[in-house]
């Protein structure tokens, strides 16, 4: 049995994407002790009322079923669903992590986050991140009528895609200094998503050693990471 299954960037926004995640949670993930969702499970999240809408409720109910079977599920905020709230987490039986966490997995100290916090070269994004994650901004946005919040979220997503298309890979990529900092703080392994580019890199500099696993895109490729007696390995869910 896998000790942990880790995935990110499912970007659920329609029935097809929701069905794929639901099959994965009800099937592959049922055999794991723990499941970590490293953000962007949804294309956007505008507050607790979204749980009552489809296809989002469909995915949340699958998470709840997983928890009822004894699998511990941990959900990390992404850059699309950072208004996911504690009330929804409690109702559907998962643990919510707002930024990052260090977990003991397969005998390793594993630093996990969505990944955007490691992309420090994207200064404009981080300025916007600070504004959007301000408690006052969150309080205002999550109290908007559902149809207004959803429309604004879709507009923001289109603008974000346009902005990303104009940035270089250096700006969008993970900053090695951030990875080395986490390894230097005691982590053996760093795991993140966000870039949608599967990769494994080994670091050994200044007495700091460790490995970075960057998750592929679950939404497009069905990519996920398994930790078991063989170590960390990439796998792919069937469509």
Q: How confident is the model at residue 93 (pLDDT cuts 50, 70, 90)?
A: very high
pLDDT value at 157 more than 90: no
Question: Taking 90 as the threshold, does the pLDDT of residue 103 lie above it?
Answer: yes
State mean pLDDT over 80-85: 95
pLDDT at residue 152, as a whole number? 87
- Name the pLDDT band for 166 (thresholds 50, 70, 90): confident
pLDDT at 131 over 80: yes
Asked if the model's pLDDT at residue 68 lies above 90, the reply is yes
For residues 120 and 177, the answer to whether their CB atoms sit within 8 Å is yes
pLDDT digits (tens, 9 = 90+) for 195-234: 999 999 999 988 999 999 999 999 999 999 999 988 999 9
pLDDT band, residue 238 (cuts 50/70/90): confident
pLDDT of residue 162: 79
The whole-number pLDDT of residue 63 equals 98
Specify the pLDDT at position 90.
98
Sheet order of strands, 208-214 included? 100-105, 108-113, 189-192, 208-214, 199-205
- Here the tokens at position 217 are 């895109």
Q: Give yes or no for a contact between 92 and 63, defined as CB atoms under 8 angstroms apart.
A: yes
At 167-187, the pLDDT tens digits run 777 677 899 999 999 999 999
**Domains in the chain, ordered, with CATH?**
4-236 (3.60.21.10)
Looking at every residue in the chain, the average pLDDT score rounds to 93
Confidence of residue 51 (pLDDT cuts 50, 70, 90): very high
Pick from 228, 231, 230: nearest CA to 28: 228
Say if residue 239's pLDDT is above 80. Answer: no
**Distance (Å, whole) CA 179 – CA 105:** 18
Q: Report the alpha-carbon distance of residue 55 to residue 62 in Å, rounded.
A: 11
Residues in the chain: 239
Rounded to the nearest 5 percent, the helix, strand and coil shares of the chain are: 40, 25, 35
Nearest CA to 53 among 153, 176, 122, 131? 153
Q: How many CB atoms are located within 10 Å of the residue 87 CB?
A: 12
pTM of the model: 0.94
Residue 18 CB partners (closer than 8 Å, separation 6+): 12, 54, 55, 56, 58, 59
Above pLDDT 90, what percent of the chain?
A: 82
**7-20, pLDDT tens digit by residue?**
999 999 999 999 99
């Amino acid at each position: 049995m896998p000790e942990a299954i880790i995935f990110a960037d499912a970007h659920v926004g329609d029935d097809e994407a929701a069905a794929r995640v639901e099959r994965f949670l009800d099937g592959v993930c049922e055999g794991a002790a723990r499941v970590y969702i490293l953000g962007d499970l949804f294309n956007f999240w505008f507050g607790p009322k979204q749980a009552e809408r489809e296809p989002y409720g469909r995915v949340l109910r699958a998470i709840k079923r997983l928890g009822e079977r004894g699998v511990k599920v941990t959900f990390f905020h992404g850059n699309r669903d950072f208004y996911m709230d504690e009330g929804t987490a409690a109702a559907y039986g998962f643990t919510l992590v707002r930024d990052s966490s260090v977990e003991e997995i397969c005998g390793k100290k594993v630093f996990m986050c969505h990944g955007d916090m490691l992309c420090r070269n994207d200064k404009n994004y981080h300025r916007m991140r600070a504004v959007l994650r301000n408690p006052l901004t969150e309080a205002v946005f999550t109290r908007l009528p559902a149809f207004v919040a959803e429309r604004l979220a879709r507009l923001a997503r289109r603008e974000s895609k346009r902005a990303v298309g104009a940035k270089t890979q250096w700006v969008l990529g993970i900053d090695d200094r951030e990875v080395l900092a986490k390894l230097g703080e005691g982590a053996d392994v760093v795991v993140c998503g966000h870039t949608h580019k599967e990769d494994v890199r080994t670091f050994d500099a200044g007495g700091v050693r460790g490995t970075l696993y960057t998750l592929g895109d679950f939404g497009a490729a069905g990519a996920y990471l398994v930790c078991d007696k063989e170590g960390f390995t990439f796998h792919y869910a069937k469509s």
